[in-house]
Structure 1
Amino acid sequence: MTSASPSRPLTIRNVRPWGGPAVDLAVADGVISAITAVDAGDAAGRDDVLEGRGRLALPTFTDAHCHLDSNRVGLPLRPHTGGPGVWTMMLNDRAHWREAEVGITERVTNLLGRQIAHGTTTVRSFAQVDTDAGLERLEAVLAARETHRDRAEVQVVAFPQAGLLREEGSAQVLEDALRAGADVVGGIDPCTLDRDPVRHLDIVFGLAEKFGRPVDIHLHEPGDLGLFSADLIIERTLALGLQGQVLISHGYALFDDPTRVDGLLERLAEADIALASVAPGGRSRLPVDQLTAAGVRVGLGQDGQRDYWSPYGNGDMLDRTWQLAFTLGYRADALIEHAVAVATRGGRSIVDPQVTRLRAVDDRPGLAVGDAADLLLLPGETVTSAVMDRPDDRTVLRAGRVVADRLQLV
């Protein structure tokens, strides 16, 4: 992962953290060093003062689940050609991803820049590694990370989208990706895709042990099959002492049966296994409020964006936060603000387990003295109004340095 360059001292004048009273934020060495009353003095021409203009101050977003290598953002919209099921969709992507109007590295770099410009400074991105792409897609994500290294922290998951057992050589490509610089070991649907959960998880957790890396497993599996895979993941996490190092992405079937939720929440919390949602519609929704209350880390992501899987997604995590609140039926301000907390510090605690996790639905962290000065300033009467309106007047700071303004990189 990358770290931002040190920033010079800065005062961010007249902002409202989480929509509260207006204050000045002092920033030094990349962190918030003081919070004081608003200084009404004339600061015209001073380059150590950033005028907040009474805007909201929020922690920047964390995209906890995206596929930067799977996007056509900024390119002409093409007809959707995917079919049902993960394998069929994967084959459709495989047939077309090289045909885009611009190369993969340019697409990835442009989308990451767009995400930063809209307020995201922490990203966990998957990079597809398989017998078709080899390490080409991983190399594109690593190159984009290097381009934007002072603007964002990017954690890269080596992701075996085609499984590990269906095509000879897949497990070796996954290991090669870890040697080439991937930060996290990926896995996917141990039962429905590879049809051998023990062998699949042997490979994933074996590589995690060998390289000392975290684990992130896509779990699209339905009903009892999904719960069975989750049980196996929990068991291995506890047996190997990997608490805090494992995440289940999607987990579509885990919360369909309310009678099983309590026991599952307790087991996830015991193993400190995090979850990431992309705010899908229908029944497949992660109850982020229940997860937070149970002590389970949960984050939000955008998945693939305007790609060969789906025409949805635009690089704007504020837009995806609106989608999370909408799909969960949130109307109360406290719940909509919680959706923002999940999309910012919730996801951040996944990328960096040392970051204080959300413990309650009313937690509003990230803007206290000592917190990283990764800040998003944007207009709004309240946090809820900003989610509803999704304004363009945004200023993005990474480690106390302005990296984007009005949706343009600086």
Structure 2
Amino acid sequence: MISAADLERLAEIELKEEEEVEEGERQSYSAERPAPTPPQSGVGPDPSHPYYDVARHGILQVTGDDHYGRKLIIFSSCCMPPSYQLNHHRLLEYLKYTLDQYVEMDYTVVYFHYGLKSSNKPSLKWLQEAYNEFGRKYKKNLKALYVVHPTNFIRIVWNIFKPFISHKFGKKLTYVNYLAELRGHLDYEQLVIPADVLRHDERLRAAQKGGPPLLVKSPPPRPPLPTQQFGVSLQYIREKNRDAIIPPVVFQTVSYLKENGLKTEGIFRRSARVQTIKDVQKLYNLGKPVSFELYGDIHVPAVILKTFLRELPEPLLTFPLYSQVLDIIGVESSLRVSTCQRLVQSLPEHNFIVLKYLLSFLHMVTQESIVNKMSPSNLACVFGVNLLWPPRGAVAMSALAPINIFTEILVEHYDSIFNSRCPPGQVTP
């Protein structure tokens, strides 16, 4: 039987061989083609962060939800500095610290493998320790693991750990050879993809023979159907639905959840069957009736509501409010409620009314938090990035805290913040 030391040496050899091939491809490619522009991911973490020494490298990012309502967490190997500059035990603690904020809900992990070198790779012993550290609560709610740009090293590691990994966990793993393959699963435009990974993907496509061309032209977008509900503006929906103030998807999901979901433990934390979500979206977009009773899963309308918000061309809280919401972190605690009220009052009328209708319901959810375990803080963690994101690029990890604080205040202090107008068909509490 091969020893741990032999496995370590084998992994080292594989990495060095991959580095040599990569260096040759890089030199050849860079002479012919300029590098793509790196994405804008916002400012780095606050120096007061308990794991600032690790977080400052940008190895881990949390960027909202995937297409199926699951929190999206990204790990980028190319952001890892040489091993002598990074305490891998601290990295493991930081991983657990971050995941602990999300593992009570369903989540997805994207692992960008490119950039792992012999100089920055953790030992196989560390990898085994990390796998053992992540107990059932971490593995149970992980619904998908995408390994982007896999290499021989990945396959070696997988074979080493296969005896220790359950069959159920193994089914969650998907190898992704090119970034474009992620588009069917995730909101690609919201991903924080390091510039090095973008360049590597370009090189792979340039070297590809007989496959799809390097630059694939997207077909021109089709005009939306008159009955379209997802991916179109609030104004479009209102115009096409006889001036309905509350979008049908929001009204119907909220109404159903009020009647049937208020006492469901972990409501909004769970995903639903992927094909079911696609089917329901299609029904809505075709203007056909949707009966949630037929699906027998309370999480279907919950995911549909989050999906609707996430697919708006502009977030419900609007792009102009993004930078102002981020500033909430610097506002004194005693002034935060009035600051949130002022920002919300500045919204366009239609956005304000829809937001008030939604927050009235979320506040109602918290009234049953003893049973459903959804406090204002928990709801903020779920809804924050579905209510607000930047005009370009993804939500930076450093922006999550102010967005969640802002959303938590809206939920907890609903009565005082939304006291100027009453949503249609509702009586102010």
Structure of higher RCO (CA pairs closer than 8 Å, 6+ residues apart): 1
Which protein is richer in strand relative to its size? 1
When Rg is computed on C-alpha atoms for both structures, the one with the higher figure is 2
What is the TM-score with the length of structure 1 in the denominator?
0.31
The structure that is helix-richer by fraction is 2
Tell me the TM-score normalized by structure 2.
0.30
